[in-house]
Structure 1
Amino acid sequence: MAETRLIQGRYRLLDLIGRGGMGEVWRGRDESLDRHVAVKCLKPLGPQQGDPGIGRVLRERFRREARVAASLQHRGITVVHDFGEDDGVLYLVMELLEGRNLSQLMDDGVQGPLAVPDVVEVTEQVAHALAYCHDQGIIHRDLKPANIMRLTDGTVKICDFGIARLGHDAGFTAKLTGTNIAMGTPHYMSPEQIGGESVDYRSDLYSLGCVLYEIATGAPPFDHGDAWAVLLGHRDTAPEPPRAKRPELPDFLEQIVLDLLAKSPDDRPGDARELAHRITAARGGTLAHPAPAARAPVPPAPPAELPDWTRGMTNGPKATGAVDLRAAVPLDAAAGLTGEWISRIDGRRTPDAGQARRTERSTAPPELLSVLATRHTAGLSLSRLGKWEEAVEVHRGVAAEREQALGAEHPDTLASRYEVAFTLSRTGRPADALREYEHVARGRELALGADHPDTLGARQEIAYVLGQLGRHFEAHDLYTAVLAGRERSPHLGPDHPDTLRCRHNLAYNLSRIGRLEEAHRTAGEVADARARVLGPLHPDTLVTRYEVAYALGRLGRWAEALQTYREVAEARGQALGADHPDTLAARYEAGISLGRLGHSADALALYRDLAADRARVHGPEHPETLRARHGIGVNLGRLGRWEEALEEAREVCAARVRALGPGHPDTQVSRREVAVGYGWLGRWDESLAEYRQVAEDRERALGPGHPDALAARQDEAQLLERLGRGAEAAEVYGRIAQRRGE
């Protein structure tokens, strides 16, 4: 779509900020009122849907739901300004929100839960918004982390109120998608929704309970491997109490979550307003916090089947692993609103292995296999676009249907299971990915042999996820074995790109287990080989040269590391562009090297330029922008400019609290920098308060025995000792020794 596209002669589309299954969201400008807005364009129906009546139904439903959404006026609900149709595309004009949804906030915490105060605040604000909507007779029906936004000023807003319901009629959805996959996300569906019963406002309360459970513990209440198990969990199984997964949660919050997750709507809180009052009372200290009452296990329901609409359903995206859609592949400017919705796909990785090799005779209908092959390819396309969560659900569905049609060990089934594992590993779920890869590797070894390229590929990915899980010594042994298999294979050999990728990963892993000289030597050999095979400016070549620089830094050879980082940054600028994230990352590491060499003035200048570029490309409160600004503060301190350093550190800390949350590791690093600045300026009481806050935050987030939490307590003790408060220092040192088991 061209950036100058004008909707209804009034709304000018400026840039794409989001893309999902229903359509796209653009940042736009209302030229009549001269204000920025968000414009949601629903994906148009193409002729392949086959039923011309569906378009009429969709338009009528859209108008009805848009009117409902526009009638809602509450600070906790996204404001809808306008809606209509332009050149066959339905559009909705909303207020432009500055913030991140709960899914993204959990990603910022490395797929972890939110801080407890944030969970309580979100609960209270969402409860008030739901109470208002339920008073209007409106039910959301699709409450999930991606539909709840926290703005930069702390306001929490529910998005897609009413519009999310467009795809929830099962028969209508099946006609629209042609895949027999019902829309909606099973992780947040109430038992009455699953049972196909009529729902009321209490269904929203159950969905809210699922959301709160996830942001409080890091996982949904029923986090099973397939959609059928999730649905049965909602219907038949009592959830594990949240404090069993996160003991620091307050009793009252656990009780509220469990009350919301009651199987029967009659056993849930009376309404959202009652829920809001409970939260408000608890925050004010007027609500007793009794230990949660033991709940008897919910007896299993009779072995009745779930509704027909659930058949073939996949899990759908959970909060963790959400993708920043602003980084999506740019659209074809000539396509326009009604053009193709998946564009510019590069050639990532292997095709569907089963399309090229059939080792079993199938009795499945050829038309079914053709549909599954098309869906497999669509899943690959989603991965290439960075839509990992959508990709994993497509591949899960295809894998399940291929297993039923072809068998568990058929190459096509294993190809789909491989893609499931690949996407899981890229969305922060390495343990789940490991199980899938191990299954694929066993099946391929039995069918193809241990040294077949497909078998080696699966085993190499096992090594990769072992590294993600911190099991670097196991990863090293497996990389070594896979490398030997690749080098002796007549189909691969030492210079094959897959062999070089394996050697690169081996070099990376060697540095993580402390074998730095070997890591440096191996990375250098791979970089030379990739330059010869792929070219000096190929992204893979530059990735390995980046690894060479990292190893040099670990070895203390900072001058060589600096030179290599600078060369990588320059080469990436030529090959990828000056504003590409990889180019900017190399510049950041060059700044680290300058600081290590004592060139603080040069490092300061570099970080000022980098922060300005990051802010222009990503925004002023993007984590990478704030990381560059942190470097500014550090080097101001190294230059003895402590007043400026303290001011920078305080601003970055405040921005990180807003963008990442108070418990995020980057926020804690900034808070420690604030403490250091206070200390250098002789403001000891303020310095001590900050050190203690860092220690408390780390203990809450990581546990009191975590090395980072202990290091923060060590800072506190050293400052107490410096202030002559020996008895207090000795007490803190004693607690540290006890937690270390000394």
Structure 2
Amino acid sequence: MQTLPVMHDADTEPLDDAVTRRVQARVGTVLRAKWRIDRVLGIGGMAAVYEGTHRNGKRGAIKMLHLELSVDPEARARFLREGYVANNVGHPGAVSVLDDDVAEDGSVFVVMELLEGKTVDALAEQRPTGRLGITEALRLADQLLDTLAAAHDKGIVHRDLKPENLFLTKDGALKVLDFGLARMREMQSNAKMTKTGNAMGTPAFMPPEQALGEWNRVDARSDLWAVGASLFTLMTGRLVHDAPTLNQLLLKAMTQAPAPIRTVLPGLPAEVAEVVDKSLAFDMNARFQDARGMQAGVRKAIAWLDKHGEPQNLVPVASLGTTSPGAVDSQMVTLKRDPTAPMAAPARPSRLAMIALSLGTLVLGGVVAFFVFGGSSGETPEPGPVASSSAGSARVGAPAPSATPSVAPIAPIEPARVAIEDAGAPPPVPSVTASAVKKGPSVKSGADFGEWGK
């Protein structure tokens, strides 16, 4: 049997050897007298994925929650929800779940359709430039938006769309993976993860309202932002925000609008840039309002490219320093804060800064008064052109103000919002979970386990 790399959680500690041995030991066994486990496809922090065969000859991908998590009701519920939500989409682009059950040892499992191909992020990584062609990326987005339109019509919002959750089969069909974070209308009042203050998802592809944990605002337009962020990354090879750490990336997702894509990829046709930039609008009302509307924009851009041809030798601007997808782990995260802990006090100016500010203000005021009222016979000076400066307004050509520096007041900094869960309530899953297994065999399940490359 081929040796497979083992995925581990974001704390970089390897998985328990006992878990790995238990996963490997299941090969050859039969679950509930119906599914034979043929081989291991991958091992993650929450589950293992196997290739299996039903007693009727049907092949499938068996995703089994680790025994340690199977005893946790919340972990079980979230694990099973992925299958229930995906099946409710009712579209070929959503991976269907064929079965779910509990193994003899108590481990919960679901059986998904078996996919052969690779994830879209793996496809881009294999290119010499680390990017997809513009038309190629748009055609994938067209398929994705068709699936999202069906999901949104059912009140299902995915909430974790990104290139590694998009799977391109050998037949060229795009499949949307990992509906485990998805929200259905009827689940909103019961799902703990939808509570305001919990930031769940992948920061690099997370719209501001989701980064802030304002789940009551997250809707179909939030998914469209993630589609735009995926297009941005696939076309440029960069993430929409530049940040060296996951926390800084999350902060920028909360507070900053992405740069227009043509500042990173000059020469991109305006018809294409308009689609990406509109989907990435910070203001939700300025984005496409539904998947069909964005799909129409994508198809219009494809038609323009088919008629005029795709620009050749597009090279991203290096000087902007935008982060490449591999520079920051694109992990699905849950941030938590103990509500009993005191919040950080707002930053206040020091005593020395306040004294300097007062002196600077007095000196500057005296200088301005001298030039306005002094140095003349008392006549009111004629109005003249005024040039704005950071210190105020002064007449053009007037001598520079005193060299005494003016110190700008330091505005109180509102503590950044962090995701909050009730103190004392144990999290259903590790606080940070990796979202993809490293490269493995070529067959992949409709689950959150990266590429199974041969």
- Counterpart contact for 2:157–2:223, Cα < 8 Å: yes
Q: 1:267 to 1:130 in 2, by over 3 A?
A: same
Map Cα deviations across residues 476-500 of structure 1 (whole Å, 9 max, x no partner).
xxxxxxxxxxxxxxxxxxxxxxxxx
Instruction: Please tell me the residue identity of whatever aligns with 1:307.
Output: R
Structure 1 residue corresponding to 2:256, chosen from 228, 237, 255: 237
Structure 2 residue corresponding to 1:132, chosen from 150, 161, 164: 150
Matching residue of 1:213: 232
Q: CA deviation at 1:249?
A: 3.1
Q: CA deviation at 1:66?
A: 2.8
Instruction: Please tell me the residue identity of whatever aligns with 2:302.
Output: R
Matching residue of 1:304: 414
Matching residue of 1:283: 302
Q: CA deviation at 1:139?
A: 0.8
Instruction: Please tell me the residue identity of whatever aligns with 2:95.
Output: T
1:38 equivalenced with 2:61 (yes/no) = yes
Structure 2 residue corresponding to 1:191, chosen from 202, 208, 224: 208
Instruction: Please tell me the residue identity of whatever aligns with 1:309.
Output: A
Matching residue of 2:137: 119
Q: Distance in 1 between matches of 2:435 and 2:259?
A: 18
Map Cα deviations across residues 263-294 of structure 1 (whole Å, 9 max, x no partner).
121111010111111222332349999xxxxx
Matching residue of 1:324: 439
SS in 1 for 2:49: strand
Q: Distance in 1 between matches of 2:284 and 2:225?
A: 8
- Counterpart contact for 1:69–1:163, Cα < 8 Å: no
Q: 1:108 to 1:317 in 2, by over 3 A?
A: farther
Map Cα deviations across residues 298-325 of structure 1 (whole Å, 9 max, x no partner).
xxx99433333289x9998799xx7304
Matching residue of 1:272: 291
- Counterpart contact for 1:227–1:315, Cα < 8 Å: no
1:60 equivalenced with 2:175 (yes/no) = no
- Counterpart contact for 1:72–1:79, Cα < 8 Å: no
1:151 equivalenced with 2:169 (yes/no) = yes
Q: Distance in 2 between matches of 1:18 and 1:94?
A: 14
Matching residue of 2:106: 88
Q: CA deviation at 1:108?
A: 1.0
Matching residue of 1:261: 280
Q: Distance in 1 between matches of 2:264 and 2:52?
A: 43
Map Cα deviations across residues 395-434 of structure 1 (whole Å, 9 max, x no partner).
xxxxxxxxxxxxxxxxxxxxxxxxxxxxxxxxxxxxxxxx
Instruction: Please tell me the residue identity of whatever aligns with 1:156.
Output: L
Map Cα deviations across residues 421-462 of structure 1 (whole Å, 9 max, x no partner).
xxxxxxxxxxxxxxxxxxxxxxxxxxxxxxxxxxxxxxxxxx
- Counterpart contact for 2:159–2:222, Cα < 8 Å: yes
Structure 2 residue corresponding to 1:21, chosen from 35, 41, 45: 45
Q: Distance in 2 between matches of 1:283 and 1:153?
A: 21
SS in 1 for 2:118: strand
- Counterpart contact for 1:70–1:82, Cα < 8 Å: no
SS in 2 for 1:45: helix
Map Cα deviations across residues 510-567 of structure 1 (whole Å, 9 max, x no partner).
xxxxxxxxxxxxxxxxxxxxxxxxxxxxxxxxxxxxxxxxxxxxxxxxxxxxxxxxxx
Q: 1:172 to 1:71 in 2, by over 3 A?
A: closer
Pick the structure with more strand per residue. Answer: 2
Mapping 1:72-87, distance limit 5 Å: 72-86=89-103, 87=105
SS in 1 for 2:68: coil
Q: 1:310 to 1:209 in 2, by over 3 A?
A: farther
Q: Distance in 1 between matches of 2:129 and 2:199?
A: 26
Mapping 1:107-506, distance limit 5 Å: 107-109=125-127, 112-162=130-180, 184-197=201-214, 198=216, 199-285=218-304, 303-309=413-419, 323-326=438-441
- Counterpart contact for 2:236–2:264, Cα < 8 Å: yes
- Counterpart contact for 1:139–1:162, Cα < 8 Å: no
Matching residue of 1:99: 117
SS in 2 for 1:309: coil
Structure 2 residue corresponding to 1:12, chosen from 36, 49, 52: 36
Q: Distance in 1 between matches of 2:433 and 2:240?
A: 15
Q: CA deviation at 1:114?
A: 1.0
Q: CA deviation at 1:6?
A: 1.5
SS in 1 for 2:67: coil
Q: 1:151 to 1:260 in 2, by over 3 A?
A: same
Q: 1:228 to 1:304 in 2, by over 3 A?
A: farther
Q: 1:109 to 1:20 in 2, by over 3 A?
A: farther
SS in 1 for 2:201: coil
Q: 1:89 to 1:262 in 2, by over 3 A?
A: same
Pick the structure with more helix per residue. Answer: 1
Q: Distance in 1 between matches of 2:150 and 2:213?
A: 26
Q: Distance in 2 between matches of 1:302 and 1:209?
A: 34
Matching residue of 1:347: none
Task: Give the superposed CA RMSD.
Answer: 3.7
SS in 2 for 1:249: coil
Q: 1:106 to 1:316 in 2, by over 3 A?
A: farther
Instruction: Please tell me the residue identity of whatever aligns with 1:185.
Output: T
- Counterpart contact for 2:212–2:418, Cα < 8 Å: no
Q: 1:305 to 1:85 in 2, by over 3 A?
A: farther
Instruction: Please tell me the residue identity of whatever aligns with 2:116.
Output: E
Map Cα deviations across residues 576-613 of structure 1 (whole Å, 9 max, x no partner).
xxxxxxxxxxxxxxxxxxxxxxxxxxxxxxxxxxxxxx
- Counterpart contact for 1:187–1:315, Cα < 8 Å: no
Provide structure 2 residue ranges, at least 5 long, that are not aligned to the other structure: 1-23, 309-410, 422-429, 443-448
- Counterpart contact for 1:41–1:89, Cα < 8 Å: yes
Q: Distance in 2 between matches of 1:254 and 1:302?
A: 37
Matching residue of 1:458: none
- Counterpart contact for 1:186–1:316, Cα < 8 Å: no
Instruction: Please tell me the residue identity of whatever aligns with 1:323.
Output: K
Q: Distance in 1 between matches of 2:90 and 2:261?
A: 34
SS in 2 for 1:206: helix
Q: 1:133 to 1:194 in 2, by over 3 A?
A: same
- Counterpart contact for 1:187–1:223, Cα < 8 Å: no
Q: Distance in 2 between matches of 1:4 and 1:141?
A: 36
Q: Distance in 2 between matches of 1:57 and 1:22?
A: 13
Q: 1:238 to 1:56 in 2, by over 3 A?
A: closer
Q: Distance in 1 between matches of 2:157 and 2:290?
A: 12
Instruction: Please tell me the residue identity of whatever aligns with 1:24.
Output: A
Q: 1:88 to 1:186 in 2, by over 3 A?
A: same
Percent identity over the alignment is: 33
Q: CA deviation at 1:153?
A: 1.6
SS in 1 for 2:159: coil
- Counterpart contact for 1:102–1:146, Cα < 8 Å: yes
Provide structure 1 residue ranges, at least 5 long, that are not aligned to the other structure: 174-180, 290-300, 328-386, 390-617, 623-742
Q: 1:116 to 1:5 in 2, by over 3 A?
A: same
- Counterpart contact for 1:281–1:287, Cα < 8 Å: no
Q: Distance in 2 between matches of 1:107 and 1:283?
A: 23
| TM-score, normalised with respect to structure 2 | 0.59
Instruction: Please tell me the residue identity of whatever aligns with 1:93.
Output: V
Q: CA deviation at 1:132?
A: 0.6
Matching residue of 1:493: none
SS in 1 for 2:140: helix
